[in-house]
Structure 1
């Protein structure tokens, strides 16, 4: 029985991006072949199972050989071993560093160490993400953290420059780096309703307004560490607790059975302590969000309350800490509104 084959020779590395995704998802060759068959690959390519298996194995082998270059994306464009078009290079890098939000949520705020890596078996079972994919995502988190944690300059820009990621993905990685460094508490049961994107949004707010980089754009750890001087200055806001005019601003909110004003100011005054910084989100939930939820406040009502409350300090002629107040409440308001799920 004779068979005719069309053969061509070229130096461009052929990569099937659909197969690449199967490899990234951590599938074995046999599982990937089954998926391809279920999606009609045999009919599409007019091939049999043996040819499809051979092609899948060849593709997986190519991806594995390229993986070491993906660990340092800037080297991918300068190497000569694999002739990969620029557009494909961008896709390879972006997809390699993409991650599952549910996985990121499980490790967010934890130390990116061997201890956490040992928990990946449990995380894999919980999230239904293959262990191989969990390991790739975790190693990517760790790799990015290690490269950028002490670089000067904006965190997002550093991530983009060293890993060639899109702006959106770089910002998500910035949130992961920020949480890994500050070790915010994210695992308590009361915080489980919050998604990775909720925390990523809050991280962006903290990075933009509370870190050293918010006042100095060229210092080490500029977007990783909160500005200690600012946190210390927040203690000055304590004077508002005893200000009758500020307290009177909330008489119209009779439905609120908790002193929200006192809670927000007390929270600010405690942020000089590392533990209280780490407990920022649980404190916001317990001392503000839960009381509002109990009284069935809507997002619109909370927005009105926080806006009115923030502006009330501007009417106090004796209050001398307006800049600190606005810097604090701007972030607190944004985070609360993101975290409040009706």
Structure 2
């Protein structure tokens, strides 16, 4: 009996990106084969189902062997076992560390511990993401957190340096690390409408302007990163926010601030009457949130306070995003014209972030 065998020998590791994604998504070999067959790969390659099964098994095995290196991306370029071109290496790393936003939203703000990992079964059922994929994503979050939490310097740059991720993905991981470190409340029912990207945007604002690594210049700060880590909110800044209470405790200043804002907004927003009637309540809400940020619990409740004390009252009066943007713009700028208000730098540093976060969070 004679047998013909075609053999191809090469030194470049062959990896199919679609099969890699199936592996990342947590599919079994048999499920991956089925998906590939439904995609018409057999007709494209003129192969049999047996060959497709063999190819899928072989690639899954290769990915599993590479996984140890993907968990320490800087080692991938220096290893000799797999001959992978640099561009393909970058793709493998980026895809391995990509995550589902709905999964990230479920664990955002939680401690990245064994206790949270035990909840992955429930999260898998709730999100429809395979448990294997949930575990990979959670382990990636935990790995990045452990590597960068004690490093000095800019958080995003540290993540890029140690994990070779794109700028956008590194910023998303920075948000995850920041929330895990500060343990912001994100799970309350009133916050469920907010997406991971909403929170990630807010995290970026807080990191850029409120942390130890963000230093204000005399005018609107061009962010200069210090040697300190920038996942800790700057305590001195949070303490100084108490000085802003003069805006609401001094009746003459409060009335003058209201008059100036109303003068700027009359005829420009549809909810002018509602704004005028509620100005003092809205101003008190914003300043009181600032004055309480010296307490850990109030820092953790920052987002729920913004929703309950500012966003919901505006939403109930049917403010548009345009109304809100105009109000906050003039609310901030008019404080500068108050003769006896001496805390302009702290005011701008606080309110620029609050304004950006509120505008991002103001949607259904």
- TM-score bracket, normalised by the shorter chain, equals over 0.9
| Residue ranges of structure 2 left out of the alignment (5+ in a row) | 216-223, 267-271
Q: Give the Cα–Cα distance (whole angstroms) in 1 for the partners of residues 74 and 261 of structure 2.
A: 55
Give the alignment's TM-score, normalised by structure 2. Answer: 0.91
Pick the aligned partner of 2:232 from 188, 211, 225: 225
Whether 1:33 and 2:55 are equivalent positions in the alignment is no
**SS of residue matched to 1:82:** coil
Structure 1 residues 274-303: Cα deviation after superposition (integer angstroms, max 9, x where no partner)? 000000000000011000000000000000
The answer to whether the aligner puts 1:262 opposite 2:284 as a matched pair is yes
Instruction: Provide the secondary structure at the position in 1 that maps to 2:177.
Output: helix
1:184 maps onto 2:184 in alignment: yes
Corresponding position of 1:319:
341
Look up the match of 1:166: 166
1:124-273 map, 5 Å:
124-215=124-215, 217-220=225-228, 222-241=229-248, 242=250, 243=253, 244-249=255-260, 253-256=272-275, 258=278, 259-273=281-295
Partners of 2:91 and 2:256 in 1: how far apart? 57
Distance between the aligned counterparts of 1:28 and 1:2, measured in 2?
35
Q: CA separation in 1, counterparts of 2:30 and 2:343? A: 65
How far did residue 3 of structure 1 move?
6.6
User: Which residue matches 2:10?
Assistant: 10
Segments ≥4 residues shifted beyond 3 Å: 1-6, 249-253
Q: Distance in 1 between matches of 2:161 and 2:35?
A: 36
Distance in 2 of aligned mates of 1:144 and 1:212: 20
Compute the RMSD of aligned alpha carbons. Answer: 1.3
Give 1:46-125 correspondences, 5 Å limit: 46-125=46-125
The residue number in structure 2 matching 1:276 is: 298
Aligned pairs, number: 341
* In 2, Cα distance between equivalents of 1:278 and 1:111: 13
| TM superposition shift of 1:74 | 0.3
TM-score relative to the length of structure 1: 0.97
Work out the CA distance in 2 between the residues paired with 1:91 and 1:2: 43
1:217 Cα deviation (Å)? 2.5
Is the Cα–Cα contact under 8 Å of residues 261 and 334 in structure 2 kept in the other structure? no
State whether residues 241 and 290 of structure 2, in contact with CA within 8 Å, keep that contact through their aligned partners in structure 1: yes
CA distance in 2, matches of 1:111, 1:306: 34
